[in-house]
Amino acid sequence: MFGIDDPFIWLAYLASILSALGCLVYGAYHWRGGDEEQTVKSSVKKKVTQDQ
């Protein structure tokens, strides 16, 4: 694969790229979902305060 015969090398090549892409997707997901998460946390906090 990719002109590399040894699977341990092309696996490393692929793993490096996929892990970086995975980081990108993970971070982007939390970037977009940020406001939603914040709203949920704020409402939970509000409830906790009311309970007290």
Partner 1 sequence: MAVSISILILFLIVYLGATFYVAYLGYRKNSQTEGYMLAGRGVHPAVMALSYGAAFISTSAIIGFGGMAASLGMGLLWLVFMNIFFGIFIAFVVFGPRTRRMGLNLGAITYPEFIGKRFQSKFIQAFSGLLIGVFMPLYASSVIIGAGRFLETTLGLNYNIALIIFTIIIASYVIKGGLLSVMYVDAMQAVLMLFGMGFLLIYTYSMLGGVTGAHQALTDMANLVPPALAAQGHQGWTSMPSFGSPIWWTMVSTIIMGVGIGVLAQPQLAVRFMTVKDDRSLKRAVAVGGPFLLMMVGVAYAIGALSNVYFYKTMGIISLQAVPDGNTDLIMPAFLNHAMPEMFVMLFMLCLLSAAMSTAAAQFHTMGTAIGYDVYQQTIMKGKSKATVHVTKIGIAFTILAAVILAYILPGSIIARATAMFMGLCTSAFLPLFIGALFWKRTTKAGATASLVIGSLSSLFWLVFVHAKEAVPLKICMAIFGKETLLAGTWPLVDPILIATPLSLIALVAVSLMTPQLSPEFLKKVFRFRFEDEDEENSEKVSSNATDSAGV
Cβ contact 13:2 at 8 Å: yes
Report the site for partner 1 in 10-49 (rule: CB under 8 A): 12-13, 15-17, 19-28, 30-31, 34, 37-38, 41-42, 45
Q: Least distance (Å) from partner 1 to the CB of residue 51?
A: 14
Q: Smallest distance from the beta carbon of 32 to partner 1, in angstroms?
A: 10
Do residues 35 and 44 touch, judged by C-beta distance below 8 A?
Answer: no
Whether 4 contacts 13, CB under 8 Å: yes
- Min dist. Cβ of residue 24 to partner 1 (A): 5
